[in-house]
Amino acid sequence: MTDDTAGEFDPATALDLSDRVAVVTGGTRGIGRAIALGLANAGADVVPTSRTAADVDDAVAAVESRGVDSLACPTDVTDTDDVTALMATVRAELGGPDVVVNNAGVNPDGALGPPEATTEDAEEFVLDVNLRGALRCARAAAESLHASDGGSLINVASVGGVVGLPRQHPYVASKHGLVGATRSMALDWAPEVRVNAVAPGYVLTDLTADIEGNERLVESIRDRTPLGRFADPAEVAGPVVFLASDAASYVTGACLAVDGGWTAR
């Protein structure tokens, strides 16, 4: 007789993160905050961090209100000492981290426009936060991720990591780099640590505040998106919780589109 329960999928246990500790960079606002709260709701202890101490305190309080542990450790992902101290503090205070979500990202005005109009400083800044910041965090957390039974690194890329977008080549370069690094790190760190990316489409946050004021652009994005709308930040959190969890135990090196069908065209 076949034992149906031997390999049976049980969402209640597979999505339960109550034995994990997670770090979310840029976890104080927008998509990162939604990810931090989603991971906390799945039972993980979560450390949401960013450069702004007051925002970190606020996000930590929101995480703790979900009944899990957290700690406030403001961190600039462009500063190697900061990142090293973050991972060491998490390890000493909470254990882990078992899960690291590289979500901090920027796309400043100086990096917008055709290539001849952007500055080298702006390009450097975008690459340093979006790409090198993620690599710094991966390096600093490598030992803890490998020591975990459920080590999972998740990079928040973008549709701009999969296709070109006009007038923002530094951002697109940083996100293509992040998707490439995701694939390479997945090879290097298998089988101990799974490494994946999500590629969100358009989500209304501080990062995209300029879009909100431009009704024509809002309409064209809606028209171009098969699901016909922008995403709520929580709709990015769900796929990240999945990738962090045992429900994704055979998923590594993937870049999961969370874009309402944008890149399916």
Ligand X SMILES: NC(=O)c1ccc[n+]([C@@H]2O[C@H](COP(=O)([O-])OP(=O)(O)OC[C@H]3O[C@@H](n4cnc5c(N)ncnc54)[C@H](OP(=O)(O)O)[C@@H]3O)[C@@H](O)[C@H]2O)c1
Q: Tell me which residues touch ligand X (CB under 6 A).
A: 25-26, 28-32, 50-52, 55, 75-78, 103-106, 129, 133, 156, 158, 200, 202-203, 205-208
| Closer of 244 and 246 to ligand X (Cβ) | 244
Tokens of 165: 């977008």
- Of the pair 136, 194, the CB lying nearest ligand X is at 136
Nearer Cβ to ligand X, position 108 or 150?
108
Q: By the 8 A CB rule, do 156 and 193 touch?
A: no
Task: Say if residues 104 and 32 touch (Cβ distance below 8 Å).
Answer: yes
Residue from 45, 103, 153, 171 carrying the catalytic annotation: 171
- State how far the alpha carbon of 114 is from the alpha carbons of 117, 159, 170, 240, in Å: 5, 19, 10, 32
- Going by C-alpha positions, the residue among 15, 4, 48, 10 that lies closest to residue 29 is 48
Q: With respect to ligand X, which residue has the nearer C-beta, 101 or 186?
A: 101
Sign of the CA dihedral with 210 first, then 212, 217, and 220 last: positive
250 in active site: no
Q: Which residue number, 28 or 152, has a Cβ lying nearer to ligand X? A: 28
To the nearest whole angstrom, how small is the minimum distance from the Cβ of residue 156 to ligand X? 5
Taking the complex as a whole, how short is the minimal distance between the CB of residue 234 and ligand X, in angstroms?
Answer: 12
Minimum distance, C-beta of residue 212 to ligand X, in the bound complex (Å): 11
Bridge partners, 46 (sequence order): 22
Q: Of all helices (H) and strands (E), which one includes residue 195?
A: strand 194-200
| Integer angstrom CA distances of residue 43 from 20, 40, 77, 110 | 8, 5, 25, 40
Rounded distance, CA 183 to CA 187, Å?
7
**Active-site residue set:** 171
